[in-house]
Amino acid sequence: MSGTSSEGHPLAKGKLRHPLHLSPGRFTRPGAAPGILARPAGLEHLPATLCLLDYDATDITERADCSLDEARAFFDSPRNTWLHVQGTPNESMLQSVADAYQLHPLALEDVLHTGQRAKAEVYDGQIFVIASVPEARNDQIEIAQLSVFLGDTWVVSFCSGDRDPFEAIRKRTQQKDSRIRRNGVDFLFYALLDTAVDHVFPTLESLGERIEALELTVFDDPSREALNEIHLLKRELLLVRRALWPQRDMLNGLIRDEHKQIGGNARLFLRDCYDHSVHALDLVESYREMASSLLEIYLTSLSNRMNDIMKVLTVIATVFIPLSFVTGLYGMNFDRAVSPWNMPELGMRFGYPVLLLFIITVVVGMLIYFRRRRWF
Amino acid sequence: MSGTSSEGHPLAKGKLRHPLHLSPGRFTRPGAAPGILARPAGLEHLPATLCLLDYDATDITERADCSLDEARAFFDSPRNTWLHVQGTPNESMLQSVADAYQLHPLALEDVLHTGQRAKAEVYDGQIFVIASVPEARNDQIEIAQLSVFLGDTWVVSFCSGDRDPFEAIRKRTQQKDSRIRRNGVDFLFYALLDTAVDHVFPTLESLGERIEALELTVFDDPSREALNEIHLLKRELLLVRRALWPQRDMLNGLIRDEHKQIGGNARLFLRDCYDHSVHALDLVESYREMASSLLEIYLTSLSNRMNDIMKVLTVIATVFIPLSFVTGLYGMNFDRAVSPWNMPELGMRFGYPVLLLFIITVVVGMLIYFRRRRWF
Amino acid sequence: MSGTSSEGHPLAKGKLRHPLHLSPGRFTRPGAAPGILARPAGLEHLPATLCLLDYDATDITERADCSLDEARAFFDSPRNTWLHVQGTPNESMLQSVADAYQLHPLALEDVLHTGQRAKAEVYDGQIFVIASVPEARNDQIEIAQLSVFLGDTWVVSFCSGDRDPFEAIRKRTQQKDSRIRRNGVDFLFYALLDTAVDHVFPTLESLGERIEALELTVFDDPSREALNEIHLLKRELLLVRRALWPQRDMLNGLIRDEHKQIGGNARLFLRDCYDHSVHALDLVESYREMASSLLEIYLTSLSNRMNDIMKVLTVIATVFIPLSFVTGLYGMNFDRAVSPWNMPELGMRFGYPVLLLFIITVVVGMLIYFRRRRWF
Amino acid sequence: MSGTSSEGHPLAKGKLRHPLHLSPGRFTRPGAAPGILARPAGLEHLPATLCLLDYDATDITERADCSLDEARAFFDSPRNTWLHVQGTPNESMLQSVADAYQLHPLALEDVLHTGQRAKAEVYDGQIFVIASVPEARNDQIEIAQLSVFLGDTWVVSFCSGDRDPFEAIRKRTQQKDSRIRRNGVDFLFYALLDTAVDHVFPTLESLGERIEALELTVFDDPSREALNEIHLLKRELLLVRRALWPQRDMLNGLIRDEHKQIGGNARLFLRDCYDHSVHALDLVESYREMASSLLEIYLTSLSNRMNDIMKVLTVIATVFIPLSFVTGLYGMNFDRAVSPWNMPELGMRFGYPVLLLFIITVVVGMLIYFRRRRWF
Amino acid sequence: MSGTSSEGHPLAKGKLRHPLHLSPGRFTRPGAAPGILARPAGLEHLPATLCLLDYDATDITERADCSLDEARAFFDSPRNTWLHVQGTPNESMLQSVADAYQLHPLALEDVLHTGQRAKAEVYDGQIFVIASVPEARNDQIEIAQLSVFLGDTWVVSFCSGDRDPFEAIRKRTQQKDSRIRRNGVDFLFYALLDTAVDHVFPTLESLGERIEALELTVFDDPSREALNEIHLLKRELLLVRRALWPQRDMLNGLIRDEHKQIGGNARLFLRDCYDHSVHALDLVESYREMASSLLEIYLTSLSNRMNDIMKVLTVIATVFIPLSFVTGLYGMNFDRAVSPWNMPELGMRFGYPVLLLFIITVVVGMLIYFRRRRWF
């Protein structure tokens, strides 16, 4: 009966993957002063790495993995400057950057307390944007926070997590004839957001593949592992959706409102970026419906199975229970003396062993049958 | 018991049709430069065929299945020119067309990466529109992408897939007194969109027929095949709905915004086209509700069946189990010597064979009964 | 066991009423030219009957069931003219009327292809309106299409189906002091729409009665017929709702937009008509919720029944199965020689017949009991 | 087995309360002329009672239960006049009032055909408002219709049903320093609407109590009565919600639109009244969710019970069925002659009576156990 | 069988926690005069404590737990004054404060009748705001009402309940260089609202933890306690959501409308506060979906269990019932005299005791097995 004991078995339990933590974000203590740069406790801080690009159409300087002091030299550069901070900066580093570019304290607070909703704010002529960079890692979805400040000739970006999503952007910037070089920082700003938005597609593709794999499983074998997997899927879709909705609104706001820092050309490209984010949301909603469908199929398959099981029981029981009554009724004490037709088997030499053999055959046959139908 | 083993049987499995792939579209690699004409990998490319119409109210020239060089001669034609590209163009062909008409790189990217949402964009005075052309083929719904550029005196259209949906349009254009000939290219533009929108109705009709066929099945026989079919239906409706929603918004946008390329008359006809798309969406939503209803009926029918099965089991068991106890209680060792009324059957000559016969009759009768109710 | 075989019985099947056909409307062939007057194939055409009213405040002329030629005489009448066409007109009749009043081809197409969504359009200063006239006939809901053109001094109306809904309007128009006579054609226009809108209430009332009848049934006897009836109800509500939603929007549009043909007084009455349509939609939404509730109750009643059945089985089985084991254990071979207390029944003269009688009594009693509970 | 027969028992049936009638309102016959004062047939008409208040800041005259002629004397009073008609007025009374104040025929029609949606209309400078006055009476919710006309110095109100909800208002008006006396008729108008809106709260409180009582029941005993009660609750919430939604919109419209009859102070108080109606809707929506939750719990409790029942059956059956086979196998014909260990019980003097006693004890014990678990 | 009796057992009942009371708020009696200061009956009134802060950038005076008379001295202070009343004030105290600051009677009524929806009103140039302060106390969520009046140089705040949420604000105000000191009362006003909004996050975190704990439980052991816990969770989420929705709208209104009392800087910080409230609502909606998911998993786990139970029953019954028939058929009266192979066990000396032992072993083994699977 080992197969049916799925809910008591430690191994079966071990197979269930733990759902993602849907934390409420790192909230500030109620009553705490706003805009105070204190890193939320209980988070391991990755050492932040800085990367600086200073470029115009003709020339470019890159400082990868540089120190804050190295970077500082470029803070007043008349050329386009892009300072990218990967990982969680410590307070002093953040404060230095903030002082150099007059970043608003409320924005800095949002940079530190990652897990914010995507949004676009304007502080003293600077545009501040928060976006989400989802990534599927080991079948777990992680969502890094991208915070970007856009000034007149500079972009400062912060990305939480340990993976820099902007390697490709840097390569493109190195190319002299690339659009980024030929345009202002607003185009770089667009390129960063576009990269963040496009990061969701590989994630969605892996989710789509998992849904399709589950569809085949669930029809044939509605196991507890499949139920757990459906549950995880729904959870992850919820997570991705929560990240994408505000992002779409943020992009829409950037396009709709006339910001002097964002030129007509960059706005055109941002519209394309917005289209991508709408497309991604469309997919998420479709996937959510499909995951709900999966659960319905799962339940229906369970009911189907139950029907099958009950049919077997009912056929066997309704056939043999009345017959047992009949044999019980006559006690099978037919008078063998009266007629040779009355139960001659009882007088045979090997009657009993043959019967035993028959019984054992039936038991073994049935067990094989049930095993094949995966009943235990 | 073969009938009840539906979930273990390879043939039953074979009957289940695989659901449509709901791919996230061919997305660009995150961080890739926008507007670069690189065909997405992993797609088989059908060789694109060109078809050119150059017409005014009095005259018309058609170049069916022409080469790019033949077409090029008409690129500067002062008459109305319609260049239609069926299938996926290669990059150089696309670039030539783009250069001739100054098509925007972002639009070209969307032409190549099919599977985009329907939308209308304005680039430098050109209107660029993406629409969906759904088609039911072998009970599978395929959605081709139609991309149309509308200039002052020309229309360039691209349609993915291998079936040209515009044969009828070309025939109408050949007729000298047709509306297309009497009007500008904006009317041709409308005619293309109208054809795309109307393509959904035969698809919807076939879906409607499948729903109605299922309704009869599901009441009487909630089989696994029916469940699979319902699931497929829901999936296909999801797909069609995802294609139609943005199409409706796109048409609405075309009517609402004042585009100089689209005259008042064409706008009036576009409104009719918009009405059709709203009607189609209405139908899709109705069908979705009906598909949900189907699933509810399916589940309820399953419960009904379970009830029926349990009733049979309970009636048989509650009648015979107590009786078996009674016969067991007396062991049926009535003393035949005391009275001739006590179990005279045991002393009969053919008592045992007659009983055997009776038992066999009961078993066969019950098996026939269960078979008729499709229990196995 | 005949009662439980409800899903195999041809008569039971016969009781299930077939759901309404939710056709996608008669769509035009994709790629067909718009505004071409070709009657959709596959429809039986009722011969159309014309009815003409020509009136002003002082005088009125009625031509009931007149020919097109009779009607033609009034086409240029300076008085208010109302031409009503009941049934499906043939193309030439439609074309004659269209020529006389310069009706727009797109509108004519909508007149011919019935099953359109309700809408209001303005073509060259004429108002063209499509409305729905639902009617419950033999417990089937049929939705006729009403198409009305409103000019400066004339109204042309087309109503599909074979029942003229406007007899009462004609009677009111005959009365010299009626509002229709005292006002312009805009009031007649309102009266036609109001009649169409009010037609839904008797239909809704019959639906409401069916819902309430079902509520009583479903609690006590969740039969397959009830399930079928619930399903039909949901389908019909879906149909009515699909007809009413666009009608509401159409009326709202008529009130909101300032049309010169519709005076302030008529607009006030149209607002009342709009209120009625909102009320009707309210009811439909309520009924839809109630139908969903019915299904929930149905399912819950099924579960309740299953619980009851299982309780009976469990009580009987758990009482008698252990007892049977006990009697089996002792084989009931008590040594009657040892004591007169040991199974004296076995030595009685009528022991066996009395036992048989007892068994038969139990069987018959139980069958009566199960029959009463409608288990078979 | 009487306990399990709950669905066949007339008394159990009697316990089910009949749901409220959700009538479509008293609709006018399709095609009937609008604004005709004909009382809908099939309604018992309560004799209407009139109550008149004529007041200014210094003086007040009250005519309770007066005749129409007494009231007529005040129709042209320069002071603030409030005429309240409780119950359904007959046509002549209504016409007299209508003539005195020039009430609009469409509004009068709405006064007579109660069951209208709440709305605010402006006819020739008069404000006409319909509101709902819900009341829980014997656990049944009844919704009276309040119709109020607001003129420059007069208010005419009609309230269907037999209970006058405005006794408290009259008392407050009698007090010389009350706000109603110190303000114009717009404040009286507000006071009437506020009373109507606040009438829903006691109703909601009684619904809330019923929900909480059900919550305790449903966890422990998912009976058919509880199901019926949940169903009734959902129905009543649907009814209340249908009354409150348009009322909220009506109040919102009154505040938003600038009506010259309603001064700034009265508008401030109407905003408070609007807040109450929003609060009430909030509650209704919460209650609806809770009622849905109840049904879910009900169903889950049923499943829980089924599980419990099946466990009992399975434990008993799986323990004793194999044992019965074993005793059957050996037939328990152990040779007592061979050994005194072999079934000595069979040779005991009281073996059989003791066994009978044991069997009876088991049966009685089990019946008590099942009764305690309310299985029958 | 004690384990299965979970629904009859008083202790099991005791484990179910009672759901929160979702009262309709303390509504005014229908027909009661508005703005009358009468404390709702049936509420225990906590003695209200006053706390007064009078400050400007250079100096600050604090009167903690002061009497009304002490406070009165500061009512006309030219400096910024913050009067906070914790608990429910009595009518005279409220009236004194109201007289000093000309608070509007309708606002005072809302202060007394706690349980109002969050809203922002403007009365004679004063801004009046109601907000919610949720708090998780002993796993029960309590929602206190915060009412704040903002004048030109003063803030009056009332908070129901016994816990003062503003201790941290007072500490920050004591610091000379804090933002509150450096800014006007509008910043204090923001700080109070921000504290109220941020109070929801710890509550949400505890809800999130409970959801995650339940997820593990429900997969393995769908007990009645878990069902009760899910139900409580849904109820509490409903409660929190009902508090947060209007709060979000209130904050949005404060930002959108231009109030002269709220400066640009404070508006910027209010926008941050608004973002927090949107984030909180996002979380609540996610949690609600997760709670619904939990119920689905619960039900599915129940069905899974049922399947497992039925499989055990079916395997045992289908194996042994036919075998019992076979043994019954032969009555196992093999003629031991014919052959030594025929049932030699019956002639063994300890045949019967060994069989008894075997039976006992089987019973005990099965009981242990069922106990392990928690079937009783």
Nearest to A346 among E290, E322, E333 (CB): E333
Q: What percent of chain D has pLDDT over 70?
A: 89
End-to-end CA distance of chain B: 5
pLDDT in tens, C285-339: 999 999 999 999 999 999 988 888 988 898 888 888 888 888 877 766 777 777 7
Q: How confident is the model at residue D28 (pLDDT cuts 50, 70, 90)?
A: low
Q: Does the pLDDT value for residue B277 go beyond 90?
A: yes
Identify the pLDDT of residue D186: 92
Q: Which helix (H) or strand (E) holds C149?
A: strand C140-150
| CA–CA–CA angle E253, E255, E261 (5° rounding) | 105
* Highest mean pLDDT out of B145-159, B253-267, B350-364, C252-266: B145-159
Q: Are residues E68 and E112 in the same domain?
A: yes
Section E35-53 average pLDDT: 70
Which amino acid is present at E112? L
Mark yes or no for CB contact D343/C322 under 8 Å: no
Same structural domain for residues D87 and D168?
yes
Would you say residue A236 lies in a domain?
Answer: yes
Q: What is the mean pLDDT of chain A?
A: 83
* Whether C248 and C368 share a structural domain: no
Query: What chain D residue is nearest to E223 in terms of C-alpha separation?
Result: D304
Give me A119's structure tokens: 């949004």
Nearest CB to B201; choose among C24, C35, C116: C24
Q: Which of B43-52, D190-199, D201-210, E115-124 has the lowest mean pLDDT?
A: B43-52
Q: What is the pLDDT of residue C64?
A: 86
- Could you report the per-residue pLDDT of C231-249, keeping only the tens digit for each? 999 989 999 999 999 999 9
Q: Which residues of D touch E30 (CB under 8 A)?
A: 165, 168, 195, 198-199, 201-202
Co-location of B111 and B48 in the same domain: yes
Q: Do C279 and D355 touch (CB under 8 A)?
A: no
DSSP E115: -
pLDDT band at C37 (very low <50, low <70, confident <90, very high): low
What's phi and psi for B195, nearest 5 deg? -60, -45
Asked if residue B23 is part of any domain, the answer here is: no
E306 contacts chain A (CB < 8 A): yes
Residue finishing a domain among D300, D325, D356: D300
Position C245 scores a pLDDT of: 93
Is E325–A324 a contact, with Cβ atoms under 8 angstroms apart?
A: yes
pLDDT at residue number E286: 92
Q: Taking Cα atoms as reference points, which of E362, E361, E375, E376 lies closest to residue E312?
A: E375
Q: Which of A215, A288, A293, A345 to mutate to test the interface with B (most CBs of B within 10 A)?
A: A293
Confidence class of residue B155 from pLDDT cuts 50, 70 and 90? very high
Task: Please state the rounded mean pLDDT for residues E273-296.
Answer: 92
- Please, are residues D171 and D267 in contact by the beta-carbon 8 Å criterion? no
- Give the total number of structural domains in chain B: 2
The answer to whether the Cβ–Cβ distance between B355 and A326 falls below 8 Å is yes
3-state secondary structure of E20: coil
**E333 touches A at CB < 8 Å:** yes
Q: How far is E169 from chain D (nearest CA, A)?
A: 30
Amino acid at C139: D
Run of H or E residues at C242: helix C224-256
B107 lies in some domain: yes
Q: Is the pLDDT of residue C202 over 80?
A: yes
Q: Test C306 with D306 for CB contact under 8 angstroms.
A: yes
ipTM: 0.80
Q: Is C213 on the interface with B (CB under 8 A)?
A: no
Flag whether residue C242 sits within 8 Å of chain B, measured between CB atoms: yes
Q: Does some domain include residue A368?
A: yes
Please compute the mean of the pLDDT values over residues C120-143 and round it to a whole number. 87
Give the C-alpha separation, D19 to D234, whole Å: 10
pLDDT at B6: 38
pLDDT of residue E123: 87
What's the pLDDT tens digit per position in D295-346?
Answer: 999 999 999 888 889 888 988 888 888 888 888 777 667 777 777 777 777 7
D266 pLDDT above the threshold of 80: yes
- pLDDT, residue D282, reads 92
Touching A: which chains, 3+ CB pairs < 8 A?
B, E
In this structure, the answer to whether residues C98 and C148 fall within a common structural domain is: yes
Same domain, yes or no: A202 and A345: no
Residue D205 CA: distances (Å) to CA of D20, E29, E33, E117, E122: 19, 12, 21, 17, 30
Predicted local confidence at residue A112, as pLDDT: 87
B330 to chain C: nearest residue by CA?
A: C332
Among C315, C329, C331, select the one facing D370 at the smallest CB separation. Answer: C315
Are E361 and E279 within one domain? no
Q: Do B349 and A339 touch (CB under 8 A)?
A: yes
Residues of D in contact with C318 (CB under 8 A): 312-313, 316-317, 366
> Which CATH number fits the domain that encloses residue B203?
3.30.460.20
Distance from CA of C103 to the nearest CA of D (A): 26
Q: In whole angstroms, give the CA distance from residue A20 to residue A242.
A: 14
B136 to chain C, closest Cα gap in Å? 14
Judge whether residue B3 has pLDDT over 50: no
Both A234 and A356 in a single domain? no
Q: pLDDT at position E46, please?
A: 62
Q: What pLDDT, on a 0 to 100 scale, did the predictor assign at position C9?
A: 35
E88 secondary structure, DSSP code: B
pLDDT in tens, D127-172: 999 999 988 877 778 899 999 999 989 999 999 888 889 998 999 8
Quick one: pLDDT band at residue D279, thresholds 50, 70, 90?
very high
C264 touches chain D (CB under 8 A): no
pLDDT for the residue numbered B258: 83
pLDDT band at B57 (very low <50, low <70, confident <90, very high): confident
R_g over Cα of chain B: 34
Could you give the angle at the alpha carbon of A176 between the alpha carbons of A171 and A178, nearest 5°? 70
Same-domain check for residues C269 and C342: no
User: Considering the domain boundaries, does residue D116 fall inside one?
Assistant: yes
Neighbour tally for A164: CB within 10 Å: 16
Q: Do residue D316 and residue C326 have CB atoms under 8 angstroms apart?
A: no
Would you call B344 an interface residue with chain A, using a CB distance cutoff of 8 Å? no
Q: Give the model's confidence band at C38: pLDDT under 50 very low, under 70 low, under 90 confident, else very high.
A: low
Is B231 within 8 Å of A297 when comparing Cβ atoms?
A: yes
Check whether residue A223 and residue A152 sit in a common domain.
yes
Average pLDDT of every residue of chain E = 83
- pLDDT at position A189 is 95
Distance (Å) of CA B12 to CA B226, D345, E231? 12, 57, 40
> Which chains have 3+ CB pairs within 8 A of C?
B, D
Listed range (A268-272, B9-13, B161-165, D173-177) with the worst mean pLDDT: B9-13
The encoded tokens of residue E261 equal 């009392």
Instruction: Provide the 8-state DSSP code for B88.
Output: B
Interchain contact, A279 vs B25, CB within 8 Å: yes
Residue C6: inside a domain, yes or no? no
Average pLDDT, chain B: 83
In this prediction, residues B293-312 reach a mean pLDDT of 90
Q: Which of A258, A278, A300 is the last residue of a domain?
A: A300
pLDDT score for D27: 58
Structural domain includes residue A17: no
Sheet holding B126-137, edge to edge: B60-66, B49-55, B80-86, B154-159, B140-150, B126-137, B119-123
Domain check: are E168 and E259 in the same one?
yes
Q: If you search the block for the tokens 């050329």, which residue do you land on? A: A79
> Tokens standing for A375?
């009943």
Which residue from D6, D350, D376 is facing C341, i.e. has the nearest CB? D350
The parent domain of residue D130 ranges over 44-300
What's the confidence (pLDDT) of residue B13?
39
In a domain, D327, yes or no: no
Contacts of A235 in chain E (CB under 8 A): 290, 293
Cβ-Cβ contacts under 8 Å, C242 against chain B: 282, 286
The C-alpha atoms of residue C131 and residue C159 are separated, in whole angstroms, by: 9
More confidently predicted of C38 and E162:
E162
What is the average per-residue pLDDT within D341-357? Answer: 78
Per-residue pLDDT tens for B190-248? Answer: 999 999 999 999 889 889 888 988 988 888 788 888 998 999 999 899 999 999 999 99
| B226 and B350 inside one domain | no
pLDDT score of D241 more than 90: yes
Is residue D86 scored above 80 in pLDDT? yes
